[in-house]
A = this chain, B = another copy of it.
Amino acid sequence: MIDEKGILFILSGPSGVGKGTVRKALFEQDTNLKYSISMTTRTKREGGEQEGVDYFYRSHEQFEQMIHEKKMLEYAKYVGNYYGTPRQYVDEMIEKGHDVFLEIEVQGALQVKENFPQGVFIFLIPPSLEELKNRIVERGTETEDLIINRLKEARNEIEMMDKYDYVVVNDNIEDAVRKVQSIVQSEHCKRSRVAKQYKALLEVDDK
């Protein structure tokens, strides 16, 4: 086999589309992917959150230092705490030949695109905006005003589709997971990734 590097896959899409569910179902089947672990300044929750498993836990000063040193692929601040994706873990896994999988909001994905354009960007979309609305309503956690805002935001986010490499419709989980798996597998067959090494391999073993 050739000595191939890993690939960073980014799954994103409007909130409510089911990114988390697709990611979970994917990881139940696929053990070759490494899930990118986020970094945060919030404190560990009681009851067993672990450093390097749930999050990398850092102080505000450490986090801001990493932002300053451009060591974050993306970050955002929610309710006074930073959350983000440290670059080092991704780089290390990829160097070792592991694929890394990142499930993330659209704004975060666009930051990753700036900092890691060689990633493969997958946009998960709802079968329709009506369906997205139903899913948000079914969660039962949002007021009507918030739902309207969410849909407005979703419509804006769908405009961001053009920044992505692939579009997957989440009409059912199994199909969506299968499509993501196909994308992962076919990206490893891309001539632009592998031709040089295969050519070398086929030259060498003839001597």
Asked if A146 lies at the interface with its beta carbon under 8 angstroms from chain B, I say: no
Contact with B along A163-207 (1 / 0, CB 8 A): 011111100000000110111011101110011001101110110
Q: Would you call the interface of chain A mostly helix, strand, loop, or mixed? A: helix
Asked if A161 lies at the interface with its beta carbon under 8 angstroms from chain B, I say: yes
List CB contacts (< 8 Å) of A69-93 with chain B.
none
Asked if A128 lies at the interface with its beta carbon under 8 angstroms from chain B, I say: yes
Asked if A162 lies at the interface with its beta carbon under 8 angstroms from chain B, I say: yes
Asked if B166 contacts A190 (CB within 8 A), the reply is yes
Complex CA gap A168/B187 in Å reads 11
Asked if B161 contacts A191 (CB within 8 A), the reply is yes
Asked if A202 contacts B167 (CB within 8 A), the reply is no
Q: How far is the CB of A186 from chain B (nearest CB, A)?
A: 4
The 8 sampled A-B contact pairs (Cβ below 8 Å) are A151-B206, A158-B202, A161-B198, A161-B199, A165-B191, A166-B186, A169-B198, A181-B182
Residues of A within 8 A of B (CB): 122-123, 125-126, 128-130, 151, 155, 158-159, 161-162, 164-169, 178-179, 181-183, 185-187, 189-191, 194-195, 198-199, 201-203, 205-206
Across the A-B interface, the 3 shortest Cβ-Cβ residue pairs: A182-B185, A186-B186, A182-B182
